[in-house]
Homo-oligomer: A and B are copies of this chain.
């Protein structure tokens, strides 16, 4: 192939970002239907046994796809049975999501499998047949181990007939994933950028691959979140916000006071500050502002510090940055294009960049300072 070599053309090239490789090589999909969808069961999948069946039967297929959209309207019946029309005009996002049977997609990037995460997930009281799950695991040893454990957990729940989710999707990330890191190393300022850039790519792959036309809400739930109220989904959607983040705390044993206690964990839920904006303005284009490091004191009001044990758990506060611990997002925010920047976007990346992007798309971002979920304590 010939490249035009015209002196008039400046070939503006950037060195490909070496750490970033295309994503999503292994896709493992599990489909779980429900006894209530028994209308959708089909004859054997073997080629021979289906000889007597009609070659085309789209009605069945379509009904299966939209199994939960019982109030779909069939616009017209075309002469052939090849085609079905479905009007999903009723796809809503509303505070009473459960009553309206709105579908929720729970997305979790997972580099380790915590049984407590899984147990907590199973206990969520939102109708599981309206929930789809999506996981993405890094392509490294951690990911291999976590995948095996996740599969085992799914298998166990399935065997006990406790698995009622609409669909479970598991992706493997095709990147040179960072190797396992100790807690302290994982948080070192210098590795934050690379780590969170990889995480952003993982999140984008996950949401692009799993969002369906029937998804109303997306709950980003980190694999390290081991305790939430059972009504997590209902509680978050009740606020009916485009983006709303719970406050991530951690249980620990207070050695001095000799008792169990809680402490703030996730400092990525914040309100922008004059200092933060000044620091951002002073940085080279490709540098990022990260929260919670003394080297970079933003003096941003951090939601983690606004927790009031006696306060109303429905208290809302407007945010400019969010973490990924437990964030409910209206699917239309993603459909409009809100993604997780893996590159500095207004000097922000990943979930914090996502909040900025949602705001650039015209959406407001909120947090619930008194609504706690708990991060694993390793």
Seen from chain A, the residues whose Cβ lies within 8 Å of a Cβ on chain B are: 1-4, 6, 8-14, 16-18, 20, 22-33, 35, 38-47, 50-51, 53-66, 75, 78-80, 82-89, 91, 93, 154-155, 158-159, 163, 169, 171, 200-201, 204-205, 207-209, 211-214, 239, 271-274, 301, 306, 312, 314-318, 320, 330, 332, 334-337, 339-343, 359-364, 369
Contacts and interface: CB of A to CB of B under 8 A. Distances in A.
B332 A2 contact: no
A337 B201 contact: yes
Given A4-B317, A23-B332, A51 B64 contact: no
B25 A42 contact: no
B87 A26 contact: yes
A180 to B, nearest CB: 23
15 contacts: A1-B315, A12-B318, A14-B359, A14-B362, A16-B362, A18-B362, A26-B89, A27-B86, A31-B61, A38-B50, A38-B53, A40-B50, A42-B57, A80-B159, A341-B360
A336 B20 contact: yes
Contacts of A343: 360-361
Helix, strand, loop or mixed for chain A's interface? loop
A84 B78 CA distance: 34
Contacts of A154: 83
Number of copies: 2
B31 A317 contact: no
A209 B363 CA distance: 20
B41 A43 contact: yes
Contacts of A45: 39-40, 57, 59-60, 63-64
A76 to B, nearest CB: 9
Contacts of A13: 318, 364
A339 B338 CA distance: 8
B32 A82 contact: yes
B24 A213 contact: yes
Contacts of A93: 22
A32 B61 CA distance: 9
A318 B10 CA distance: 9
Nearest to A39: B47
Nearest to A210: B213
Given A45-B39, A82-B158, A86-B27, A362 B6 contact: no
Contact of A335 (B10, B18, B22, B38): B22
A9 B317 contact: yes
B209 A315 contact: no
Given A64-B61, A91-B27, A315-B4, A301 B40 contact: no
A24 to B, nearest CB: 6
